[in-house]
Structure formats: structure tokens, C-alpha cells
Amino acid sequence: MLRAEIVRLSLRHIDIKIINGERMHVLQWRRNLFWDEVLLDGRRQASSHGLWGREKLYGLVFGRDEEGRGGTQVMLLLDPAMGAMDHNNYSTRVRGVRLEGRDGPLVSYGSLDPKSLLKPATFADWMKKNMGMEWGDDRRPH
């Protein structure tokens, strides 16, 4: 059984712990000045170079045997732009992260979380989602 958890999330670093049966792996994404890189267990798996338009989708296989057979396939999707503006400054995290296995998302955050695509049911939900504002307290009568 494959499961994952985001351990660190910042504007230039993402660390994801992946549990595959009895084994644990660490998937890392790093943003540098002129390149991004993806590391699995400390070894570079992919990189993307340039000032703009760097890769945001990575296909990875880990746990292969020495001949390159077998292993577990995952897909890492990134939205590396800054998060939405809060009251004082910009967020210091990437806008979205998603790690998918064969059976669906293992972990997701922000703009790449499937829940973020749901339309708000009420105006208050829309305000909360888009502006971070809440109107009143649902537990108290009006």
C-alpha cells in the first residue's frame, strides 16, 4: 500500500515522505535560481532549466530492480507560483502540490487539491475561499 505525507512546504522546497509497504522514501523538489530539480532518496531524478517555463509535471519510478524492471510509478505536479496574498504579505509557499499514484492522489495541497476545484455553495463560502473572509459564526443564531 502506497501513502504519502507532505513534510515541508515552502516557496523553494518541498519534501514528501512516501511509505511503500515496509520501505520509506523521501521525494524532494528544489527551486534554484536557474533550475529546478527532483530528488528521490537524495538522488537526482529529474531537472528543468531556464528562467521561465520550467517543467511542472514529473513522472517518476522508484524501487526498480537493477535491470530497470518493476517499481512504483508516481506523478508529481507542481504549481510553483507564490500563494495567494494574505493580509500582510505574500505566502512563502508554492501555490499547489499533488502526488499521484496509479489509484489516484496520494497527497495534494492548495491549487492542485481536487477540493479547490469545487464551486462554493453560498456567497459566504465564496468569500471565505477567495478572500479569506468569514461572515458571522455559524454556531450562533443571527
Domains in the chain, CATH or no CATH each: 2-110 (2.40.128.180)
Mean pLDDT to the nearest integer, 31-57: 91
CA 80 to each of CA 14, 119, 140: distance values in angstroms, whole numbers, following the listed order = 10, 23, 39
- How far, in Å, CA of 125 to CA of 121, rounded? 6
Containing H/E element for 123? helix 123-131
Cα separation of the two ends of the chain: 48
Q: Percent of the chain beyond pLDDT 70?
A: 82
Residue 142's pLDDT band (cuts 50, 70, 90): very low
Contact 29, 49 (CB under 8 A): no
Residue 82's pLDDT band (cuts 50, 70, 90): confident
